[in-house]
Amino acid sequence: MKETFGFIGCGNMGGALASAVAKTVPSAQITLCDALAEKAETLADTLSANVSDAKIIAQECDFIFLGVKPQGFEALFEEIRPVLRSREDDFVLVSMAAGVSISTVEKLAGIECPVIRIMPNTPVSVEEGMILYTTNDKVSDEQLKAFKSSLLCAGVIDAISEDKIDAASALSGCGPAFVYMFAEALADGAVECGLMRDKANLYAAQTLIGAAKLLIESDKHPGQLKDEVCSPGGTTIAGVHALEDGGFRASVLNAVTASYQKTLKLKK
């Protein structure tokens, strides 16, 4: 792969994506920058990648990952718009900002160009991420192939229509935080029952990994898998009852919908 990849913003998500790309793309073809120069330099040392600034990335890279917060987009494009408009070669803007539509990116860029909008999650850094993507009609088959190839070690990459990406990202993008809270609660419960903390954390994490893998590979409905663990009059159904008493499912539903509603507010 000869394409070059630039990351403007090396925060948790931008850094995780850069780390994933570095597993398939030679480090010499990756350039990083961040408002905090030390952050980009530290990650670059880890990945053996290059460090530069936003204008150079906008000028030279084939794929330009925009890893800034939605509220920082206007300022970023004020800086790089003239550079993008002066380019005569092909490039792709890859936006990961929540609530920022492709049409908004196009408007801010001030030029007709290929745009890929993605909604990734942080597990891309351990090759188990979920990356949702949608594109405008200017992204070529070759560009899309190169983009997907660069993220082969990131996890699952799935195309979705833009009108559904906000709802989907409320699940997969925000979901890891909810899962970590659940894992912590599972471990806390075991500690209260007398288990050592290190054991409790390990068992909680592996339980989540195993349950998720079984859910994917069995192709069974999650309700069916839950039923298969619950013996009549047994310990698991007693725990399920306690979760229902605590409004567990309603709380999870509310968490996803609250994240979605917040995304909609960011679009205004």
**Rounded CA separation 40/115 (Å):** 24
Q: Which amino acid is at 222?
A: P
What was the pLDDT predicted at 115? 98
Q: Dihedral of the CA atoms 46, 15, 134, 252 (nearest 10)?
A: 130
pLDDT tens digit string along 211-228? 999 999 999 999 999 999
Complete DSSP assignment for 92-134: EEEE--TT--HHHHHHHHTS---EEEEE--GGGGGT-EEEEEE
What was the pLDDT predicted at 125? 86
Whose CA is closest to 37, among 79, 9, 78?
9
The partner residues of 132 in beta bridges, in order of sequence, read 119, 158
Q: What is the DSSP letter of 71?
A: G
pLDDT tens digit string along 251-266? 999 999 999 999 888 7
If one counts every other C-beta atom within 10 angstroms of the C-beta of residue 80, the result is: 22
Mean pLDDT on 176-193: 97
Question: Which structural domains are found in the chain, ordered by start?
Answer: 5-160 (3.40.50.720), 175-266 (1.10.3730.10)
Mean pLDDT on 1-5: 88
With b meaning 16 or more CB within 10 Å and e meaning fewer, what string describes 166-194? bebbbbbbbbeeeeeeebeebbeebeeee
**Rounded CA separation 13/67 (Å):** 7
User: CA-based diameter of the chain, in Å?
Assistant: 71
Residue 82: which H helix or E strand, with range? helix 73-86
Q: Mean pLDDT score of the chain, rounded to an integer?
A: 95
pLDDT tens digit string along 163-184? 999 999 999 999 999 999 999 9
Locate tokens 């989907």: which residue? 168
What was the pLDDT predicted at 47? 95
Give 92's pLDDT tier (boundaries 50, 70, 90). very high
Give 268's pLDDT tier (boundaries 50, 70, 90). low
Please say whether the beta carbons of 15 and 43 come within 8 A.
yes
Q: Dihedral of the CA atoms 146, 71, 9, 59 (nearest 10)?
A: 60
